[in-house]
Structure 1
């Protein structure tokens, strides 16, 4: 058994850690656990009050207790959040809030109070709000106070009904925007994007189509002049007009990473949508494309014969290995002189995998150091 002197020696060694190291350790803990470190010693009592990152997992205390003890221990109610914010002494730069059936009781008012407190006393740079991710047909109304956080550089919203107030003047410093399973009109979306002049990363998944009006691919890309990382998920044909995709789109000169899931690259206009995006991204370095459905690639490929990707070095694909999709890979290999790795996820048997690889290896440039990997 450890003696009192041994415990004292351990506490002393912990206390000797540099403050930046202690801060990093505390920031990696859930906020409730970081607060509990105040019982370790007199020196640790107020260290948590200076950490710049806070993460709260809010749980309705009137609901049934979870069988997951660890989750229950980390969960907090709104009273706990208020106490932490009032006792906190240092600046707060990052805030993450997870809601688990909590909004049904407190709604947006409680969240507004938290954000308004941060607005008055701190310069918040990163905000993450997670709703009921696994619950269908439920969207939380996004608090209007979020749009007053003009110093935000990162904003991540999940399962929210988004509508900006009339006095919204934009996020001048916002660089990264993630909208996961949100309900938002394309009018609001375009207004939001056009008022984020520094935006370089966009991850977009619109999940409610009944209340979405259409916009064109041109309108969307014109709002993203500085975009470097673009991810589009969900069935965009429900809200993004694809039947008149022009060959010439606004050039995304800064785009380096493009990710499209299978619902984006499907249907009658999936091929045109894909090739139009590729053509307007001359500096693309990494493309992740999911093509699990048959495409009419051969019908439109001749219109995009002038595509040239001088900087593409990594290509990730998911498809059924049809002859048309193999033609697409050959098309990309022939137009990507710096391509070094092609990763292919297939849903066919290994014999077909081997046949597909042999076909691809006969494509132009495949014999010039391109590594082709197939996965099941």
Structure 2
């Protein structure tokens, strides 16, 4: 419906072009196309939109592939952003043509979440994806990513953020892809498989998040990298698939190139991976910039994992915040004495957490090794302000005894307070 003045003038049609474009861009694509029926003048205004988004808000429930074809066919000019997400496809037919079309239209932001119903399998990305030379943001989900054997021709020279979810990699190592993105700042790989080696050579990288299966990982030429999260899965520790066993240290190789890291997050399988080989007393490099350390699902009865934890402690003198969640490992040795003896040695090794202020421990079971670990932290953190403890739900009956024992421990910090939370109780402590 037109909006007119008392003199009969059409107000909306005579708005500045940039305002009309902003109105159309903020409409679901289905509604933007419907503006073509307002008048002859409005028939193709939507066709010059620089952003085309097909998502759940588009309210398109049928004939999706046909509609996308028609929109791209009629579109005029460059397309800066194209998004297809939150919608189930009956098949992947036509997607290759869409990507080829977008590669010729200076696409800068591409989001493809491919959800094919009926067990159709994952969609294999075409080589034309690598012809999208102007890409600055690329997000893919549910695809097979075939990496060319060499970096020649990849050419994501402007890419700053790469997010890949539920991706199967085929072909060369991902290092070829990463090194061909010289401006890359954020790299997120979640629920991936098909990779063996991950070599990160990215001079402008600031943040990396990895969650998937791999055998090797190393960082080189990452001078700006400050935020690292690694959650490894797959490849059993004892099996032939798990390499770098023996004397070689995965810990040194994996973390050796993170000179300026400020925040580090490691999962349980990652810790086991880092524990392979000889574990040094401390790392060759001191990480003076690391302030926040998050260790997820740590098995306190595993001596090698605990050795990695203390190796990290001795290598991060400026650590201010430590968060750990515990996990029982049914396959771990039942004899806790080696771990307890190791902790006793650390207890007498001197103060090594001089700037630690906050500790959060979740899902602990009240085992002796866990309590000894907490005792050691309290005794070696002279400026500690808060220690938050939340047990696993199965051990609530032992909670009061745990509290009493914690309160008896000596504290190096006169300001340290211990807060005990019931399972699932939220803690807002900073």
Taking structure 1 as the reference length, the TM-score comes to 0.71
Structure 1 residues 239, 355: closer, same or farther in 2, change over 3 A? Answer: closer
Distance 1:95 1:265 in 2: 43
Residues 163-174 of structure 1: matches in 2 within 5 Å?
A: 170-174=201-205
* Selected match of 1:197 from 208, 217, 223: 223
1:107 is matched with 124
Distance 1:297 1:163 in 2: 32
1:361 aligns with 2:403: no
Post-superposition shift, 1:325?
1.0
2:391 is matched with 346
Equivalent position SS for 1:174: coil
2:71 is matched with none
Structure 1 residues 293, 169: closer, same or farther in 2, change over 3 A? Answer: closer
Unaligned runs of 5+ in 2: 5-10, 36-41, 53-77, 135-154, 330-335, 424-430
**Contact preservation (8 Å) 2:103, 2:131:** no
**Contact preservation (8 Å) 1:344, 1:372:** yes
1:177 aligns with 2:208: yes
Taking structure 2 as the reference length, the TM-score comes to 0.63
**Contact preservation (8 Å) 2:385, 2:413:** no
Structure 1 residues 35, 264: closer, same or farther in 2, change over 3 A? Answer: farther
Larger helix fraction of residues? 1
2:170 is matched with 141
* Selected match of 1:226 from 246, 257, 260: 260
**Contact preservation (8 Å) 2:383, 2:416:** no
Q: Cα deviation per residue 1:168-203 (whole Å; 9 max; x = unaligned)?
A: 9931111212221133x31xx22xx12433222221
Structure 1 residues 307, 253: closer, same or farther in 2, change over 3 A? Answer: same
Q: Aligned-residue CA RMSD in angstroms?
A: 4.0
Residues 258-297 of structure 1: matches in 2 within 5 Å?
A: 258-263=293-298, 266-293=301-328, 297=339
Distance 2:133 2:212 in 1: 26
2:341 is matched with 299
**Contact preservation (8 Å) 1:172, 1:196:** yes
1:370 aligns with 2:403: no
Equivalent pairs counted in the alignment come to: 330
Distance 2:200 2:267 in 1: 27
